[in-house]
Amino acid sequence: MKAKFQEYKGLDLSQVNKDVLKAWEKNDTFHKSLSTRKGHPAYVFYEGPPSANGIPGIHHVMARSIKDIFCRYKTQKGFLVERKAGWDTHGLPVELGVEKMLGITKEDIGTKISIEEYNNACKKEVMKYTDLWEDLTHKMGYWVDMEHPYITYDNRYIETLWHLLQKLYEKDLLYKGKTIQPFSPAAGTGLSTHELNQPGCYRDVKDTTAVAQFKVIRNERSDTLFKEVDTDLFILAWTTTPWTLPSNTALAVGQNIKYLKVRTFNPYGGEPISVILAKDRLEAYFPSANTGLALEDFKVGDKKIPFKILSEHSGSELAGVRYEQLFPWVKPEGDAFRVVTGDFVTTEDGTGVVHIAPTFGADDDRVAKVSGIAPLILRDKNRGIEPMVDRQGRFYRIDDLDPKFVQEHINVDLYKEFAGRFVKNEYDSNLTDADTSLDVDLAVSLKQQNRVFRIEKHVHSYPHCWRTDKPVLYYPLDSWFIRTTALKERMLALNETINWKPQSTGTGRFGKWLENLVDWNLSRSRFWGTPLPIWVTEDRSEMICIGSVAQMKTECEKSVKAGFMTKNPLEKYSEGDFSEKNYNSFDLHRPFVDNIVLVSPTGKKMVRELDLIDVWFDSGAMPYAQVHYPFEHKGDFNQAFPADFIAEGVDQTRGWFFTLHAISTMLFDSVSFKNIISNGLVLDKNGNKMSKRLGNAVDPFEVIEKYGSDPLRWYMITNSQPWDNLKFDIEGVDEVKRKFFGTLYNTYSFFALYANIDGFTYSEAEIPVSERPEIDRWVISLLNTLIQEVEDAYESYEPTRAGRAIQDFVSEHLSNWYVRLNRRRFWGGEISNDKIAAYQTLYTCLETVSQLAAPIAPFFTDQLFIDLNRISGKHKDDSVHLSTYPKYNTALIDKDLEEKMEIAQSISSMVLGLRRKVSIKVRQPLSKIMVPILDENFRRQLSAIEHLILSEVNVKELQYLTDTSGVLVKKIKPNFKELGPRFGKSMKAISTAVAEMTQADISKLEREGKFSLNLPEGSIEIVVKDVEILSEDVPGWLVANEGKFTVALDVTVSEVLRNEGIARELINRIQNIRKETGFDVTDKINIKILRHSEINKAVEIHRNYIASQTLANEIELVDLEPQGSVANIEIDTDVITAIKVDKIGV
């Protein structure tokens, strides 16, 4: 007995998922996909390391699907695609999670809990959700080696990082400096600029702002400013951060900006004052509506404040003017309280004067240093120089300061009220937004002293920590930096060689980031991470950067000999042994490396710089560290570098993408990846960010369990381009399951059913395509075009285009057209060459589709491929993922045939649309359609597929119209969306010209695809898409236009046509009864139909036709309702009868 194609009772993609996973495990399919490609060219892929201390979400399915698609595709193309998983295990996310779990803060580490205990907790906690990640990866079908992942806390991984840092050090690209850097008090560490530029870090906040009054000191330099001034003179400066005002030591003006001196009154106390502000900002503070108000008429409490302009000055005239300290709490150590010029001063907002606090702003620090202005600093108990705000985000407590400094420099009476206050309420767990902020209290204090001109709430964008969600401060930090600016131009040049998808991310978001590059702040003042491998002497005259464990062991031996250490902590380490056991004999984390004391070449003690390095350096170094380069794989490293492809979310643009690019450029003068897809965000169906708090998060495990992975992957990839944000709607997943997978399943089920009946196994001799019917040659042509198009899409890293092309082929062409029009070739009758050709054609389409769609939908396509191949034996591969990507045959592509069939499909679609418009069912025959002939080629093509159209739309005749005049009347109007952007001001003239086009003009435009319009300003050419062409209906006819096609349908139903329509309706109902009753497709039947005046004649006339279509021996009209199992059916509105169907031989 011949083997049969597998038949199923229904489509259960969730069960398919499970069954295929079992088969992959049993057959070790993933590893076979590697072993079968050994010796083939490599396709290099890098996996960006996620952190396993968080639960994976639906957005991870998107990112991992994209990666999987191209790895699977390239495997099909014959490449060896190694895929190594990785875990990002260091950094703030882990530390903050552990602090929360242990109920401690950063300050408790080293006191309440040792650094060793803390780091052990981090090491354990970081892999907390590994099982969930592996489970999702497994269930969604993402093939990646999770048995041998790279782990960033591994000593071998860290050793590579140290090597890279040493190379940067040797190139003079690693240095230490004190600069103003983003600092997160909540996290207790500085941040790099790329961390600060993660999506969502900048957000709008409403803060108290103040326009402070800085009192000008009258002296020889400022004397000219006091001309005509009979009050105190102030310079106005606006700030959104009043907490920085006590640290003010300068005011910056624009050298060429014009400033006005204005006589007015303080809006709060009513004191007469004179103020200086930018001329361009006058209206913002002194509305022109108040110009006529007399100064002498002003009364305290008036809402309208009078003013008088006294004089105008340039910014350069104000430079050098001195003013009184606004908050005289701390005496600065150097020159201060002077007006300087700055190139960053604008008149877009504020007063055109910038308050300068050198300790809290990069521009402030720069202009102060250039101008010789001292920052306002404090000295802690170790006499260390500190800004006024400590690392917890509060004004320094007096008890934490050097007593001598307090005595000599601090006005304790004034400062004590504010000492210890947090500058942001968010830093104090006891405060809420409802509590009065420090900004408010400082503004009130100024108000009481007549030192503020305006206090108001203001919405502005403010940076927040990417992990704590708390505000960031700009803070003077001693940090180690990578001198990325030294290679900025090279980074820009190499970036231009990368294929970015979308390109706009590479040239825009990423390119602009590189153009504005600053040096990379590498230091992190934390505990769990990669230690900076730099040891220095106390006087900082000697320094060493360690680049390997072997070097460290050697240096430790020297230290032991010098008496700085009693034993070598690396004595058990054996150089050249790269085993896990050897590398677990020590630990390169804190506190162990902190305890290592080295000796300098001159015999001085050297201790380690306590900083850790930025966790983004860990991930950016993964191309090298994942293979323990250069300690291992030095000889073959270039075979795995750079990557051919990477993919992650757009939030990695200034994170992982940047650090990959920066390290590879600085150390290898190379890109680290050649092609990249930066996918967008996955939002809820309303476009909102998903979160558990909002209750709109989608559990990927639940979706996969219910629908299977294939519909989820297919939906996410085909709904929109990967780089666009996806508004995730679970209904879309269900729709994909029904419309695409349901259609593909039904097409296979149709094939399997009739192939099994006829015993087709593809062992039959191949019918040459050239000898097959035209409909077969058409679908084979379209299939080869599809192979070509999908391959081009995959090669271009455009999976959406690939998926949509496959979907369109399956739904619109294979199922809705080829199978439907060829059903009779599969039904009944003996096996023949024509039937074999139909089977071979449909088999080839199904098999090819399984291979083309396999990268996107790996489960169902594998089942489909195996079900087909198990019987045909055409492939030796036991999985579609081991098969070779199909090759298109240009000799089988017939574009003329494809065009003809497209005409047939388009016209059929238009006619069916007209039928729906007047609710005439397709089973009701109609008499005629008319189609205007565009040209002779169109006539030839239409003639060749006329029979298909008539059969498809159930119309008797197609009439060719060479002259539509007097038959069809067309209207035309401009398409403003197309024309407007191109012609703008000429649109009025174009509208007039289009309205004047004759019927002949419209026909010419449709025929030739273009038409010249004569306008007053000259001639322009329009094309079909530039206009909308509509046809008026004529009596008894309906007319439709679509592109260049027009069709008219005669909707008159004669009695003859109506009887035939009733016969077709009866056939449909009888076939449904056969199916519902469970009859086999070959079973013969007898039919009894209850007489009805509306159907009797139709049955009598079309008795033989009904019998042939339903395999009926007898059809009998009866006067009484038949006995037994009877079906009541509705043939038309209010036309109901009863039918009994009996299987012969029962």
Q: Does 551 participate in catalysis according to the annotation?
A: no
Token pair in block for residue 394: 């509060």
If we measure between CA atoms, which residue out of 1062, 1045, 1051, 1063 comes closest to residue 1104? 1063
Given the residues 652, 851, 863, 941, the one annotated as active site? 652
- Reduced to 3 states (helix: H, G, I; strand: E, B; else coil), residue 501 is strand
Given the residues 49, 246, 463, 476, the one annotated as active site? 49
Q: Does 689 participate in catalysis according to the annotation?
A: yes
Helix 1103-1110 to helix 1055-1077 angle, to the nearest 10 degrees? 30
885 contacts 791 by C-beta, under 8 angstroms: yes
410 contacts 398 by C-beta, under 8 angstroms: yes
Given the residues 656, 714, 778, 817, the one annotated as active site? 656
- Reduced to 3 states (helix: H, G, I; strand: E, B; else coil), residue 928 is strand
Inter-CA distances, 880 with 80, 423, 866, 890, 1128, Å: 16, 62, 7, 24, 48
CB atoms within 10 A of CB 541: 10
In angstroms, the CA 1048 to CA 970 distance is 12
Given the residues 689, 928, 971, 1084, the one annotated as active site? 689
152 contacts 625 by C-beta, under 8 angstroms: yes
In angstroms, the CA 333 to CA 79 distance is 67
Q: Does 88 participate in catalysis according to the annotation?
A: yes
Name the pairing type of β-strands 534-537 and 543-545. antiparallel
Beta bridge partners of residue 179, listed in sequence order: 477
88 contacts 44 by C-beta, under 8 angstroms: no
Cis preceding linkage at 591, omega within 30 = yes
- Reduced to 3 states (helix: H, G, I; strand: E, B; else coil), residue 258 is strand
In angstroms, the CA 961 to CA 955 distance is 17
Name the pairing type of β-strands 1045-1050 and 1127-1132. unpaired
Given the residues 24, 329, 513, 616, the one annotated as active site? 616
Token pair in block for residue 332: 């600065």
392 contacts 185 by C-beta, under 8 angstroms: yes
Residue 239 dihedral angles phi and psi, to the nearest 5°: -140, 145
CA 80 to chain centre: 28
What string of H, E and C letters represents the secondary structure of 568-622? CCCCCCCCCCCCHHHHCCCCCCCCCHHHCCEECCCCCEEEECCCEECHHHHHHCH
Inter-CA distances, 182 with 471, 526, 823, Å: 10, 15, 70
If we measure between CA atoms, which residue out of 814, 825, 753 comes closest to residue 1075? 753
In angstroms, the CA 549 to CA 531 distance is 13
Token pair in block for residue 1127: 């079906």
Token pair in block for residue 495: 């970036």
Given the residues 50, 56, 88, 392, the one annotated as active site? 88
- Reduced to 3 states (helix: H, G, I; strand: E, B; else coil), residue 36 is coil
In angstroms, the CA 119 to CA 108 distance is 13
Inter-CA distances, 537 with 22, 552, 716, 1049, Å: 61, 16, 56, 94
No. of H helices and E strands in the chain? 41, 40
Given the residues 26, 38, 692, 887, the one annotated as active site? 692
- Reduced to 3 states (helix: H, G, I; strand: E, B; else coil), residue 1088 is strand
1047 contacts 931 by C-beta, under 8 angstroms: yes
Q: Calculate Rg over the CA atoms of the chain.
A: 40
What string of H, E and C letters represents the secondary structure of 930-967? EEECCCHHHHHHHHHCHHHHHHHHCEEEEEEECCCCCC
Inter-CA distances, 386 with 237, 376, 395, 658, 804, Å: 25, 9, 11, 32, 60
Supply the DSSP symbol for 305.
P
Beta bridge partners of residue 726, listed in sequence order: 682
Tokens 């170790």 belong to which residue?
382
Residue 1092 dihedral angles phi and psi, to the nearest 5°: -150, 135
**Catalytic residue annotation:** 49, 88, 616, 652, 656, 689, 692
